Amino acid sequence: MAGSVSRLSAIRRHILYRFIHSTSTSNEANCDRDSDTAFASSWNNEYKLRENVIIRTMKEEDIPVFAAWVVSLKWGYTESMVSAICKYDLKRCFTATSTNGKILGLYAGCVQTPEKAFASLCVVDSDVRGGCVLKALQINYTNSIGSQNVAYDVRKHLIETYKSFPGTALSFKRNCYEGFLTIPDDNDKSPGDVRVVPADEVHFDKLTEYDASIGQVYRPTFIKEYCFNNESYSIIAQKKANEICGFATMHFANVYNFIGPYYADDETTANALLNNLHSKADNKKKTQILCPDRNTSGCALIEKYGLSLVTYSQRMYNLFEPELPLKLVYGLPLGFGPL
C-alpha cells in the first residue's frame, strides 16, 4: 500500500511538472533560492516561472502584511479570516514574492488529520495569473503533505486542469449566493422551541464539539480566531436542555456581509439563525453565502431571503470523498474547512 501511495505521489508531481513546462515561454527565469523554505530548494532545481519569484513558508510575523494584501483585493475576506486560515498550519502556508518584495501569491493549506488535508486559501496577483506562480505554490503544498487525501475548492475555469491530476474526482458544488438579505413576506418568524443567543454566552467547548460533529475535525483554535473577533458576529441556536442545534457567523468584510460557517440541524433552526443575522447585516452591502448544492432545502431557503446564485466552485478530492453531513450545512466557511 505504501508503495502504491508513493508511486501515486510521484505520478502527480510528474503531471504537474509537465503541465508547468507546457505553459513556459522564452521569457521565463529561474526562481531565486530561499534557504528558509523547506521545499522550495528542490523545486527550484526543476521548475521555472515567468517572474523572478521567491517561494517560502509563511512566517507568523508576516501574516498581517499578507492578510492586508488579500483584503485589498476585495474578495470578501477580512484580515481576521486570513489570519486564522494562515495560522492553522504555518508549515503548509506558502507565499510568493518577487525579488523586489512585491507580494505575488499566497497558498494556505493544512493537514487536519493523518488522512485528511485541505487546500484552503489560494490567491495570486492579477499581474501573474496565467503564469506558473499558482502551480509553484501548489507543488510546494503537495510536496509538504505527502500522501494525505487533499480537498480542493476549484473555480470553474480550473476544473478541467484539476481533473487531469491522478485520482482527483468531483464532489459537491459550493454554490455562491449573493444579494441584499431580506426577510420574505411569508416568513414564519416564530422560532418554535429554538433559542438563538450570542455565541460567547455558550461554553466554548460545547461549540467546538458541535463544529467537530459536522466537519469531523476538532479545531478550537481556528474557531476562536475565525469566528470570535472584532470583524465578525457569531450566534448559536439551542433547543431544550440548552442542546446546540445550530451555529452561524457573519463576517463584515469590505465588500460583503459573508455568512459562514452556517450549520443547522433542521430548516426551522436555519431560519431562526438567518433571521437573527439579518438584524446585524450592513444593509448597504450585499450578503454572500456558500451553500453545498446537495443541501437543496438550504439553497431554496437562501433564495427565499433574496440571494441569487451567481457562481460556484467545485469541491474535489484526490484520493476519496469522505462522508459529510452536507444537509446540515447551509453556509461554508470562506476558503477553509473540512467542509
Q: Name which of 243, 170, 187, 247 is nearest 211 in CA terms.
A: 247
Q: Residue 310 has what pLDDT?
A: 96
Distance CA 150, CA 58 (A): 20
CB 211 within 8 A of CB 172: no
In CATH, the number for domain 175-331 is 3.40.630.90
Q: Over 139-205, what HEC string results? A: HHHHHHHCCCEEEEEEEHHHHHHHHCCCCCEEEEEEEEEEECCCCCCCCCCCCCCCEEEEHHHCCHH
Mean pLDDT of 239-264: 93
Q: Residue 114 has what pLDDT?
A: 58
* C-alpha cell of residue 171: 464532489
Residue 91 DSSP symbol: G
* C-alpha cell of residue 62: 508576516
For the chain, the structural domain boundaries read 2-147, 175-331
Q: How confident is the model at residue 11 (pLDDT cuts 50, 70, 90)?
A: very low
Task: Give the CATH class of 2-147.
Answer: alpha beta
Q: How confident is the model at residue 188 (pLDDT cuts 50, 70, 90)?
A: low
pTM for the whole thing? 0.79
Let me know how long the chain is: 339
**Cβ count near 157 (within 10 Å):** 7
Distance CA 127, CA 136 (A): 16
Q: How confident is the model at residue 191 (pLDDT cuts 50, 70, 90)?
A: low
Residue 204 has pLDDT above 80, yes or no: yes
Q: Residue 115 has what pLDDT?
A: 62
Weakest-pLDDT range from 32-46, 88-102, 199-213, 307-321 = 32-46
Q: Residue 19 has what pLDDT?
A: 33
Residue 165 has pLDDT above 90, yes or no: no
Residue-averaged pLDDT of the chain: 80
Domain 2-147 and domain 175-331, same fold? Reply is: yes
- In terms of average pLDDT, the best of 161-165, 219-223, 286-290 is 286-290
CB 85 within 8 A of CB 94: no
Q: Residue 131 has what pLDDT?
A: 64
Q: Residue 164 has what pLDDT?
A: 77
pLDDT tens column, 20-41: 333 332 222 233 333 333 334 3
Q: Residue 293 has what pLDDT?
A: 97
